[in-house]
Amino acid sequence: MSAKKYPSGLGRGLGSLIPKIESRPPEGLVQLGIQEIYGSSGQPRQHFEPEALEELASSIKKHGILQPIVVRKDPKGSYEIVAGERRWRAAERAGLKTVPCIISEVSDRDLLTLALVENIQREDLNAIEEAESYQRLVLEQGLNQEQVAQAVGKERSTVANALRLLKLPPAIQSQVVLKKITMGHARALVSLEDQSLIHQVVNQITERQLSVRATEALVAEKQRNSSQKKTKKLESGDEKEVRRRLEQVLGTRVELRNHQGSGTLVIHFASIDQFNDLVDQITARKA
């Protein structure tokens, strides 16, 4: 199998990230029994649409498998799929006894990347599966986001935005997988830190059939309301008393602006003379 058989959309970094497979010649195109082959545990795609598989199975019955399945031989003599698991599943549904395969030597390290590249090029992965695959490349192969982007022919920002989806609660990620909400909806939700707010927004998305733009507006509104509540909480109790005491001591209006544990103290003055008096008071107390 030659690297040039991969679609031209792949990033130029792929060759440097994966040892060249053409240096290890495959055994060639062979017919393998459908039961001799099994899906890889490293397969990035975990969700296969039954209807889509039936459509592909129907096509295979009429036209056969147009593109061979890439496999590697395991120590027990069976064959693990490197690329083409969807075709293999559909062929099984179509009742085929054998399928055309290319047997190639692929290391464990290369397996995930090759499977991921094929799925991404075919747009076979949902947004969460794609994000999880990028994360595996980062964690298991030690790649940074730029290297992952080069390997799969994507912009680094695309990889970064995909990885952010994994910050969402698992239940919300499942909504993306099941197509209850789109990737656009999910990207809008990532900016919310409060999980209860995220679930509230998702409920409104599904109940009111909100567009992505409407969801973004709703998220922005939730963020504003949350920020205002935090400010009010900080102004109550001890904070308000501190502000009152400072105004009493300094003889001028004082503002406390707090935001998530940090903030600003603003001391107002009406003239240069008052400013100098305030400086003298503060520095004298410090001395």
**Cα distance between residue 215 and residue 203, in whole Å:** 11
Question: Which tens digits make up the pLDDT trace of 55-90?
Answer: 889 999 988 898 899 899 988 999 999 888 889 999
* CATH 3.90.1530.10, the chain: domain bounds: 3-163
37-38 and 254-259 beta bridge pairing: unpaired
Q: Write down how long the chain is.
A: 287
Q: Give 4's pLDDT tier (boundaries 50, 70, 90).
A: very low
Q: Does the CA dihedral 248-251-257-260 come out positive or negative?
A: negative
Please report the pLDDT score of residue 235 as a whole number: 54
Q: Is the pLDDT of residue 213 over 90?
A: yes
Range among 46-50, 183-187, 260-264 rated most confident: 183-187
Catalytic residue among 80, 85, 130, 132: 85
Q: Is 221 labeled as catalytic in the residue annotation? A: no
Q: Check pLDDT > 60 for residue 163.
A: yes
The answer to whether 138 and 148 are in contact (CB under 8 A) is yes
pLDDT tens-digit profile of 14-63?
343 333 443 344 456 899 999 999 987 766 666 677 888 888 899 999 88
Q: What whole-number distance in Å separates Cα of residue 146 and Cα of residue 27?
A: 34
The DSSP string of the chain is: --GGGS-TTS-TTHHHHS--GGGS---EEEEEEGGGEE--TT-S-----HHHHHHHHHHHHHH--SSPEEEEE-TTS-EEEEE-HHHHHHHHHTT-SEEEEEE----HHHHHHHHHHHHHHTT-S-HHHHHHHHHHHHHHH---HHHHHHHHT--HHHHHHHHHGGGS-HHHHHHHHTTSS-HHHHHHHTT---HHHHHHHHHHHHHHT--HHHHHHHHHHHHHHHHHHHHHHHHSTHHHHHHHHHHHHHTS-EEEEEETTEEEEEE--SSHHHHHHHHHHHHHHH-
Q: Cα(4)–Cα(28) distance, rounded to whole angstroms?
A: 16
**Other CB atoms closer than 10 Å to residue 233's CB: what's the count?**
11
Model-wide pTM > 0.85: no
Please determine, for residue 261, whether its predicted confidence score (pLDDT) is greater than 80. no
**Topology (CATH) of 3-163:** 3.90.1530
Contact 131, 139 (CB under 8 A): no
Better-scored residue on pLDDT, 183 or 17:
183
As given in the structure block, the two tokens for residue 118 are 């094929």
